[in-house]
Every structure is written in C-alpha cells, then in structure tokens.
C-alpha cells in the first residue's frame, strides 16, 4: 500500500504553503494538457501514486482514476471535480507567479516522478515545463509524450539503450560535456540554444554515458526507452 505524509515546509519552498508531500513511492504527476489513457496507464504501471496538478485532475477523472493529492492554484479545475477531492487531499497555492507544474515539483518529494499531460498541448506550456525541469535539480522527473520522453540532465547518467536508438540533446543554456556510446560524441562541443544543438544523435553501443559540466541540457529519447531511464534514475 502506498504511503504518504504531509509534513511541515522545508527551506526552499518559497513560502507558498506550510505543507509538502513526501512519499517513498514513485509518483505519476498528471497535468491538464493532452494525454491518452494509454499514456496515463503506462505511467501508473511504473509509478502508481497519482498526484494531479490542478486541471490534471479532470484528465485523470475522465479516465476513471482519482488522484491521491491535488496541488495548484485551482484556477483550471472545474468545481465538480474539485468537490470530489477531499479537502485534506488538496494543497492550494494561491500565488500565480509559477505554473502548477512548478508548484508540484516544489512541494512533492518522491524518488521518481513521471509527468503525463505536460507535453502535446500548447507550445508555450511545453516550454514552461522545460524551464521548470531545469529549476528543480533536486527532482528526478521524466515527462512523457505521445512518442518521446524528456528530462533534464542534472548529474552524470548511464543508460542501457538499444544500439540504433535515437538520442537528442537540446541545450537550454550554454554547456559542455562528454559522452560514451554515441555515434557522434559530444566531447568538447560548446552547446547553446542559439548555436550548437544535438538533435538526432544515435546510440552505437551501450551503455550510453552522459555528463555535463553545468546544468542546462535536456535529453530527449523515444518513449520505448522509458524502462532504461527509470532504471537509471529510480535507484539513486
């Protein structure tokens, strides 16, 4: 049975609320963007503890799954869905200077978070989600889309990927690093969003190792690589 604690605020929560959510379970975090029932089911099979980011509760409700916790400013959830969630399972964060995804990563402590419903909708919302990934290096968070997954590389990572797999690197900030197992190594390259990017590299041998000197790199892989990424991140 999943366990959850709501505990007092720790340093770094920006004074938004007096509670954070802690669980030893892997968490599926559902947002309000487009996502299929299959995507949600795939995430829940790995991370069965479901938390909704505001209007994401409606998406999960539509697929017959009730969230264990709701977090957000509650400006995008309908009243019926909100009333179905007990008050002791809601964390209301009134400020609107951050996104609901940002609020959730600030307030949830779990070994691994799989995000569903944050890709595939509005482009500005997707870009905001990428920015949030970079702002939370303390979190192991993977966003799942229809075809791809994306995460920020905050520390060295080793991945058991199949030879021939597509692997893309997109820098949100200038950064440099090194790699093993890629057809086109990244060693010595000066990445930047307005200069060198790493779209459509390819795995030639495993395991793939990636390490960057500074934060700012996003890793994009086919959704089929989810088990390998969970294996690399979930045990740390």
- Do residues 139 and 156 share a domain? no
- Do residues 90 and 129 share a domain? yes
Identify whether 73 is part of a domain. yes
- Do residues 164 and 134 share a domain? no
The CATH number that applies at residue 179 is 2.60.120.320
Beta carbons within 10 angstroms of residue 112's beta carbon: 20
pLDDT band (50, 70, 90) for residue 168? very high
- Do residues 142 and 154 share a domain? no
The CATH number that applies at residue 78 is 3.40.50.10240
Boundary residue ending a domain (146, 170, 205): 146
Identify whether 39 is part of a domain. yes
- Do residues 137 and 49 share a domain? yes
Identify whether 3 is part of a domain. no
- Do residues 23 and 125 share a domain? yes
Identify whether 70 is part of a domain. yes
- Do residues 51 and 167 share a domain? no
Which of 4-13, 22-31, 73-82, 177-186 is predicted least confidently?
4-13
- Do residues 125 and 203 share a domain? no
Element holding 164 (H helix, E strand): none
Total residues found in the chain within this entry: 236
- Residue 46 makes CB contacts below 8 A (sequence gap 6+) with 26, 28, 114, 226, 230
Across 200-219, average pLDDT? 95
- Do residues 32 and 133 share a domain? yes
User: Which strands, in side-by-side order, build the sheet including 157-159?
Assistant: 157-159, 208-212, 177-180
Rounded CA separation 210/169 (Å): 10
How many structural domains is the chain composed of? Answer: 2
CA-nearest of 2, 47, 53, 64 to 30 is 53
Residue of higher predicted confidence among 83 and 51: 51
Identify whether 8 is part of a domain. no
- Do residues 65 and 107 share a domain? yes
Identify whether 168 is part of a domain. yes
Boundary residue ending a domain (146, 161, 194): 146
pLDDT digits (tens, 9 = 90+) for 100-150: 999 999 999 999 999 999 997 789 989 999 999 999 998 999 999 999 999
Cis peptide leading into residue 207 (ω within 30°): yes
Rounded CA separation 129/218 (Å): 11
Identify whether 93 is part of a domain. yes
- Do residues 196 and 154 share a domain? yes
pLDDT digits (tens, 9 = 90+) for 60-113: 999 999 999 999 989 888 888 888 889 989 999 888 889 999 999 999 999 999
Rounded CA separation 84/108 (Å): 21
Identify whether 158 is part of a domain. yes
As beta bridge partners, residue 199 has none
- Do residues 166 and 126 share a domain? no
Residue of higher predicted confidence among 14 and 64: 64
CA-nearest of 42, 57, 216, 66 to 114 is 42
Boundary residue ending a domain (113, 146, 179): 146
Domain housing 124:
19-146
């Amino acid at each position: 049975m999943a366990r959850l604690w709501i505990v007092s605020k720790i340093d770094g929560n920006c004074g938004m609320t007096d509670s954070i959510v802690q669980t030893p379970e892997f968490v599926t975090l559902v947002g309000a963007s487009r996502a299929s029932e299959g995507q949600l089911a795939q995430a829940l099979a790995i991370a069965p503890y479901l938390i909704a980011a505001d209007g994401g509760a409606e998406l999960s409700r539509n697929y017959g799954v009730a969230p264990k916790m709701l977090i957000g400013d509650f400006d995008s959830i309908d009243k019926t869905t909100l009333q179905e969630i007990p008050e002791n399972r809601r964390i209301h964060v009134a400020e609107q200077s951050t996104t609901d995804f940002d609020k959730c990563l600030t307030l949830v402590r779990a070994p691994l978070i799989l995000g569903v419903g944050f890709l595939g909708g509005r482009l500005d919302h997707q870009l905001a989600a990428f920015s949030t990934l970079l702002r939370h290096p303390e979190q192991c968070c993977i966003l799942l889309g229809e075809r791809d997954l994306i995460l920020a590389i905050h520390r060295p990572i080793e991945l058991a990927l199949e030879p021939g797999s597509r692997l893309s690197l997109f820098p949100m900030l200038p950064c440099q690093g090194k790699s093993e197992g890629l057809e086109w190594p990244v060693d010595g390259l000066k990445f930047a969003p307005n200069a060198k990017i790493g779209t459509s590299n390819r795995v030639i041998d495993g395991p793939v190792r990636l390490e960057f000197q500074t934060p700012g790199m996003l890793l994009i892989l086919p959704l089929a690589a989810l088990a390998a990424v969970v294996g690399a991140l979930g045990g740390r």
